[in-house]
Amino acid sequence: MSELLRVTDLAVSYGSVPAVDGVSLTIEPGELRVILGANGAGKTTIIKTLLGLLRPRAGQIRLDGQTDLLRLRPHEIHRLGIAWVPEGRQLWNTLTVVDNLRLGGFAEPDKALVDRRIAAMFERFPRLRERQDQIAGSLSGGEQQMVAIARALISAPRLLLMDEPSLGLAPKVVRDVFGLVREINKMGIAILMVEQNARQALRVANWAYLLETGQIVESGQADEIGRKESVQAVFLGGHA
């Protein structure tokens, strides 16, 4: 099997409250898939379970068709090439920008390589180079999102899990972020993105899942999903 990640019948509960039930999805290397859903639909729950931060009640997660991710702890999962851009950025706000990036490369034993990658990030994001010794908490929302994405890229992941990257950002910044997402995907990194901003997300993705109260109700090519009436009504303001 050439697929990168396969999730089968995932069920996750918080205590006795089910959050996600019977969710199955796959992603091939280099693909960009998006999970659409409203607040509370269970999107972040899925991401956290993939990262090993939550334990599911049932289901399977396999990487490369063989590695059972449920047996692994979060830091081990990361070392297999999965990186995270968390909801709300979740930078280490008391650390400097450059320290945040260095931590992104914590798992890489070759520190010189990490330094080179950080330098490359600063090339791509000159604004961050200006602010590299600034405390991360003092940056603007858009800049923090850049740091969060850069931090995830430092480990040269194969799969990027992005949780609502456009949340809380100004419209121009949102466009920049989605442009960045497309750029990263073109570099060959698979992206599984969770979003509420359906319009922009469907433009960059090749496949979309629709998540409603913990279950996947629609799954298909991004443009087809975009044309469906249910999606239009809920997410796209009712017209194509």
Partner 1 sequence: MELFLQQLANGLVIGSTYSVVAIGFALAFTVLRVINFAHPDIFMVGMFAGLAATAQWPAFGLLVAMVAGAAGAGVVGFVLERTVIAPLRGRDVLMTLIGTLGVAIVLQNGMALIVGPDPVAYPALLPRRFIDIGPVALTVRQVANFAICLLLLGLVSLYVRGTSYGRATRAIAERPDVAAAFGVNVARICQITILLASMMAGVAAVSVGMLYGSASAFVGLLYGLKAFICMLVAGNRYFEGVMVVGLAIGIIEALVTGYLSSSLRDAAAFFVLIGVLYFRPNGLFGSYNA
Q: What does the binding site for partner 1 look like in residue numbers (CB under 8 A)? A: 48, 51-53, 73-75, 77-79, 83-84, 86, 90, 92-95, 99, 102-104, 106-107, 111, 151, 155
| 93 or 140: CB nearest partner 1 | 93
Nearer to partner 1, 84 or 122 (CB): 84
In angstroms, give the least distance from the CB of 78 to partner 1.
4
Which is closer to partner 1, CB of 57 or CB of 75? 75
Give min distance, CB of 74 to partner 1, in A: 4
Other CB atoms within a 10 A radius of the CB of residue 97 amount to 30
- Toward partner 1, which CB reaches closer, 29 or 74? 74
Please tell me the distance from the alpha carbon of residue 101 to that of residue 26, in angstroms, as a whole number.
29
Report helix, strand or coil for 62. strand
What is the rounded CA–CA span in Å between residue 125 and residue 10?
37
Pairs from 229-235 (Cβ < 8 Å, separation ≥ 24) = 231/36, 231/198, 234/38, 235/36, 235/196, 235/198, 235/199
Quick one: which of 121, 6, 145, 153 has its CA closest to 65? 6
Residues paired with 14 in a beta bridge: 17
Compare residues 41 and 153 and give the one whose CB is closer to partner 1: 153
Smallest gap from Cβ 82 to partner 1, in A, equals: 8
At its nearest, how many Å lie between partner 1 and the CB of residue 93?
A: 7
C-beta of 130: minimal distance to partner 1 in Å? 22
